[in-house]
Structure 1
Amino acid sequence: MAKVDFLIVGSGIAGLSYALKLCEHFQDKSFHPKICLITKDEPFESNTRYAQGGIAAVIDSDDSYEKHINDTLVAGSHINNEEVVKLVVQNGPDRIRELIEWGTQFDKSDDGDYKLAKEGGHSDHRILHFKDVTGQEIQRALLDAIKKYDNVEILSDYFAVDLITQHHLGQDVTRYRKDTQCYGVYALNKVSGEVETILSKVTLLATGGIGQVYKTTTNPSVATGDGIAMTYRAKGHVAQMEFVQFHPTAMYQRGHEGNAFLITEAMRGAGAILRNSKGEDFVKRYDERGSLAPRDIVARAIDSEMKREGKDHVWLDASVIDEKELKSHFPSIYEHCLKQGIDISKDFIPVAPASHYLCGGIVVNTKAETSIKNLLACGECTCTGLHGANRLASNSLLEAAVYAHEAFETALQLIDTTEWQELIPDWNKDGTTVPEEMVLISQSRSDLQRVMSNYVGIVRSNERLNRAFKRTALIYNETEDLYKKTVISQPLCELRNMITICYLVISGAKERHENIGLHYSIDYENK
């Protein structure tokens, strides 16, 4: 049993920013808390790493908070929490300055000003970026910065299995209980194969998104919704899971499923145009903003055009962008496509929507507090109210940075009034046997992904959702039987988490009887 003061689950921009702030705060204090960050892979692997476009903030004097706030509300169909939108937008520039102080490089023009890109739904140029690998650059800078401190321990290959609450003391914990408290986590040490108990005074979940529940996603393999699923099992509040954002332009490769290569929206911001098989700028038939309309509109337009033409993809024409700018601003995309035999300065890129971002998640207030005491959360695993029914491009990294700061402020208040709960039992592994063939787990995961892609995608219906619910219930029952009798493993735990996520997405979609933002059902087309 390990005891730490601050436990962080996840190593993306949210978790690392929070950890850095704690390190800096306590560096010269008489109290030296134990800070521990665990990640189920190596620290560099996170959703943050794959963010291409950039981070949105009001930097230019011609821009304004009011415009960024309005753009965010319009994209979110005005069901955003306006207080949260103001909080994130107005605190964004300060968080950007911190990222820069920690070593993040953003592209500048020859005169030394930051190059600000424009993306779909934005009324101004406000996207700071580092070529087309912004997330990777932020991740690099944060990891380099945290290495300078010796008051944080980073544990790789530690998979958080479950949150520890009063449930593990034999008490009845329900979703209506007001005093549910988090005491830490049970975590699988992937090297030893043992489940360890990590007690903490304050726990932060920064576990990222859910992209892997779909068969094609821009997310890495680690994005299985672990933090959301753990919180739901612990009877924490989760909301708006029906709002799953599909990025309009993932590179299409015939016969390929799984992780798709993202073609950043910044390319359309630079002038690239979506075209159908006839070469037509078809998105303008769906929205006057054309290829720079918000993502929910563009993704549905592509989906509709593909079905109308009977095609598996549409085309992105980047040849209209100056070749020098194309190669300097989008070098990784240029090189990746070239390896596939596509010279994007001349050739169209085949693209199709892919699962990309979750706008719902663990419900938190403006202090990053969840409904469970001493459990904080920030980043994509949360539902802050910022995004509403659809995320405005490049607001995600911004939200993570702002809420990491709010979580830090809250954690400082909690630490002085919290003690460890030392009566927690060790993980109970009685009755478990050697795992069954891995094919049982991998097949169930594949089945789940196909159910979600076929029935709970960009366009839905009540019949599709009901079918998805029944199929998911069957996979759930099979997996729970397997879980009860076999030794814990990451693939099995991830499958359980993915099933929980699917249930929450389907349930949210079934309960929303309107077409709004990212949720679109053919049953409500004319209502």
Structure 2
Amino acid sequence: MKDVSYLVIGSGIAGLTFSVKIAEKFPDRKVVIVTKSTEEESNTKYAQGGVAIVLNHEKDSFKKHVDDTLIAGDGLCNKAVVEMVINEGPDRLKELLEWGANFDEDATGNLDLGKEGGHSEFRIVHHKDITGFEIETALLKRVHQLPNITLLPHHFAIDLITNHHIKGIKPDEKTCFGAYVLNQKSGEIFTIKANSTLLASGGIGRVYGHTTNPVIATGDGIAMAYRAQTKISDMEFIQFHPTALYDVRGNQSSFLISEAVRGFGAYLRDKKGHRFMPDYDARAELASRDIVSQSIDNELKKSGDTHVYLDCTHLDMDSFIAHFPNIYKKCLDNHIDIKTDWIPVVPASHYLCGGIEVDMDGKTSITNLFACGECTKTGLHGANRLASNSLLEAMVYAHNIFKYQVKSDSEVLDFDIPNWDDQGTSVAKEHVIIQHNLKELQALMRDYVGIVRSNERLNNAIKRIDLIYDEVDVLYKKSKITTSLCELRNMVNVAHLIINQSLKRKENKGGYFNIDNL
């Protein structure tokens, strides 16, 4: 068993930002970061567009950014949260620069600000089309400079440790005491006892299979919080990115064609060449993601086609390649020359706007458990996230959690926690059961709980997810722990939350659209 002051689950921008701040403040306290893949693998790494921050006060303002966010959120944002996050943007950017992150500059030496869908002004701070990778790299470099941080790659957090695990602890005020963790290389399961635990575990994209998220995005933090009976809400608000690269050979690509490409001037067209977005919204391609995704979905349902196209052929190609070198290269690798060819695109699961409920200090409904980043519902995004607000939110809430913990130290735990008990279990012999249920779950979510939903499909989905849950639960109880089994278990929990909270939503808002609510 490890005793630490701070346990952080996840190594994206949220978890790393908090870890750096708290480790610098308290050099005599241990910080442990648990991450289930390599240390840099996270949703942050794949963020292309950038960070939305108001810097040009001659043309832009905090109020404009607030208004854009509220419009995208379709009436469900917490305005106080929106104002707080946006006002803190410049200070958090300053810290990133101090930690060594580099961002593109214009000819005058000022930051080169981009514009994306839903934004009324140019305010996106970026590093080419690999902004997230640049931020992740800078943060990891700083983490490795701090001797009181231990980073554990290839370690999987199985479950949070709460009152019900420990004899003699009163059950009335639920408290988190750390987590049980699997060393994926050795197979050992050990206990990390922590005075404070932070869930910064990212999103849920793999629940849908076709997603812009990396393979690690299986909703682990949300599922752990759910099993610990933490409050979770707004899970019905799944943001589908309108433009994931479509593999015309029949496979769904998870490569993201950034929102900033449409901000740069690209057009969406059907196979006949018709530019259809002006038919749906006055902002055309610069409408918010929910509107663009639903518009594409409607076009595909009308035509029976598998994809639409993003046309960049009319753009200044030298400037395009300078701004989006990674996208340009990826297209060439797929035999698409954007100088002359349209890019085949299709919406894909991209971002979860709901999640674990937290207050402005990042506190959950469980004592000593905090959450930050995409796994949370802060009130910033409402029913639909405004492009490039997510990295900003992660930085601001990591800072707020840090500030809260500096002034409100968690009580030091002076009791033992029982070891993980897997007596009576055996190594699963039939891994095909896990893979079959995973594919069935992902197909179920795509077909029944996608961009456009209906009560009939949702009710059918509940029946089928219950059957999958029962089979997975039996397998989990009798089998030795593996990462794939735990991920499947977590995705089933997440799918259950999405379906049930979708059925409770009786009004179409933002990213949620049910034909029976018309």
Question: TM-score band (shorter)?
Answer: over 0.9
Q: Kindly report the root-mean-square deviation, in angstroms, between the aligned alpha carbons of the 2 structures.
A: 1.3
Q: Give yes or no for contact 2:174–2:366 (8 Å, CA) kept in 1.
A: yes
What does residue 494 of structure 1 align with?
A: 487
- The answer to whether 1:380 aligns with 2:380 is no
- The answer to whether 1:241 aligns with 2:241 is no
Q: Which amino acid aligns with 1:8?
A: V
Q: Give yes or no for contact 2:269–2:275 (8 Å, CA) kept in 1.
A: yes
What does residue 218 of structure 1 align with?
A: 212
What does residue 191 of structure 1 align with?
A: 185
Q: Which amino acid aligns with 1:262?
A: L
Q: What is the CA-CA distance between 1:414 and the residue it aligns to?
A: 3.5
Match of 2:248 among 248, 254, 271: 254
Q: Give yes or no for contact 1:21–1:408 (8 Å, CA) kept in 2.
A: yes
Matches of 1:322 and 1:156, distance apart in 2? 42
Match of 2:461 among 462, 468, 479: 468
State which drifts further: 185-194 or 247-256.
247-256
Q: What is the CA-CA distance between 1:413 and the residue it aligns to?
A: 2.9
What does residue 102 of structure 1 align with?
A: 99
What does residue 508 of structure 1 align with?
A: 501
**How many residue pairs align between the two structures?**
517
Matches of 1:119 and 1:291, distance apart in 2? 10
Q: What is the CA-CA distance between 1:68 and the residue it aligns to?
A: 0.3
Q: What is the CA-CA distance between 1:353 and the residue it aligns to?
A: 0.1
Spell out, residue by residue over 1:369-422, the C-alpha distance to the aligned partner (whole angstroms, 9 max, x if none): 00000111100000000000000000000000000001111222333x411252
Note closer, same or farther for the CA distance 1:144–1:268 as it changes in structure 2 (3 Å cut): same
Q: Give yes or no for contact 1:160–1:185 (8 Å, CA) kept in 2.
A: yes
Q: Which amino acid aligns with 2:70?
A: L
Match of 2:39 among 34, 38, 43: 43
What does residue 15 of structure 2 align with?
A: 15
Equivalences for residues 18-417 of structure 1 within 5 A: 18-27=18-27, 32-61=28-57, 62-170=59-167, 177=172, 179-254=173-248, 256-257=250-251, 260-415=254-409, 417=410
Unaligned residue ranges in structure 1 (runs of 5+): none
- The two structures have a TM-score, normalised by structure 1, of 0.96
Note closer, same or farther for the CA distance 1:173–1:457 as it changes in structure 2 (3 Å cut): farther
Q: Which amino acid aligns with 1:161?
A: I
Matches of 1:258 and 1:501, distance apart in 2? 22
Q: What is the CA-CA distance between 1:215 and the residue it aligns to?
A: 2.1
SS at match of 2:274: coil
Q: What is the CA-CA distance between 1:438 and the residue it aligns to?
A: 1.3
Q: Which amino acid aligns with 1:50?
A: Y
Q: Which amino acid aligns with 1:108?
A: E
SS at match of 1:117: coil
Q: What is the CA-CA distance between 1:257 and the residue it aligns to?
A: 4.8
Note closer, same or farther for the CA distance 1:269–1:508 as it changes in structure 2 (3 Å cut): same
What does residue 452 of structure 1 align with?
A: 445
SS at match of 1:327: helix
Q: What is the CA-CA distance between 1:434 and the residue it aligns to?
A: 1.2
Q: Which amino acid aligns with 1:517?
A: G
Unaligned residue ranges in structure 2 (runs of 5+): none
Q: Give yes or no for contact 1:44–1:140 (8 Å, CA) kept in 2.
A: yes
Q: Which amino acid aligns with 2:488?
A: L
Q: Give yes or no for contact 1:319–1:348 (8 Å, CA) kept in 2.
A: yes
Q: What is the CA-CA distance between 1:318 and the residue it aligns to?
A: 1.1
Match of 1:425 among 418, 433, 453: 418
Q: Percent sequence identity over matched residues? A: 52
Note closer, same or farther for the CA distance 1:473–1:233 as it changes in structure 2 (3 Å cut): same
Matches of 2:323 and 2:249, distance apart in 1? 29
Q: What is the CA-CA distance between 1:105 and the residue it aligns to?
A: 0.8
Q: Give yes or no for contact 1:183–1:421 (8 Å, CA) kept in 2.
A: no
Matches of 1:114 and 1:295, distance apart in 2? 25
Q: What is the CA-CA distance between 1:171 and the residue it aligns to?
A: 7.5
State which drifts further: 497-506 or 259-268.
259-268
Note closer, same or farther for the CA distance 1:257–1:347 as it changes in structure 2 (3 Å cut): closer
Q: What is the CA-CA distance between 1:145 and the residue it aligns to?
A: 1.5
Q: What is the CA-CA distance between 1:127 and the residue it aligns to?
A: 0.3
Matches of 2:311 and 2:168, distance apart in 1? 60
Q: Which amino acid aligns with 1:4?
A: V
Q: What is the CA-CA distance between 1:320 and the residue it aligns to?
A: 2.0
Q: Give yes or no for contact 1:326–1:345 (8 Å, CA) kept in 2.
A: no
Q: What is the CA-CA distance between 1:13 and the residue it aligns to?
A: 0.3
State which drifts further: 338-347 or 80-89.
338-347
Matches of 1:49 and 1:273, distance apart in 2? 27
Spell out, residue by residue over 1:305-343, the C-alpha distance to the aligned partner (whole angstroms, 9 max, x if none): 011111000000011220111110000010010011111
Matches of 2:407 and 2:353, distance apart in 1? 28
Matches of 2:64 and 2:140, distance apart in 1? 33
Note closer, same or farther for the CA distance 1:476–1:258 as it changes in structure 2 (3 Å cut): farther
State which drifts further: 336-345 or 386-395.
336-345
Q: What is the CA-CA distance between 1:281 and the residue it aligns to?
A: 1.2
Spell out, residue by residue over 1:443-491, the C-alpha distance to the aligned partner (whole angstroms, 9 max, x if none): 1111000000000000000000011111111000000000011100000
Q: What is the CA-CA distance between 1:520 and the residue it aligns to?
A: 0.4
Q: Give yes or no for contact 1:95–1:402 (8 Å, CA) kept in 2.
A: yes
Spell out, residue by residue over 1:97-140, the C-alpha distance to the aligned partner (whole angstroms, 9 max, x if none): 11111111110012101110000000100000100010011111
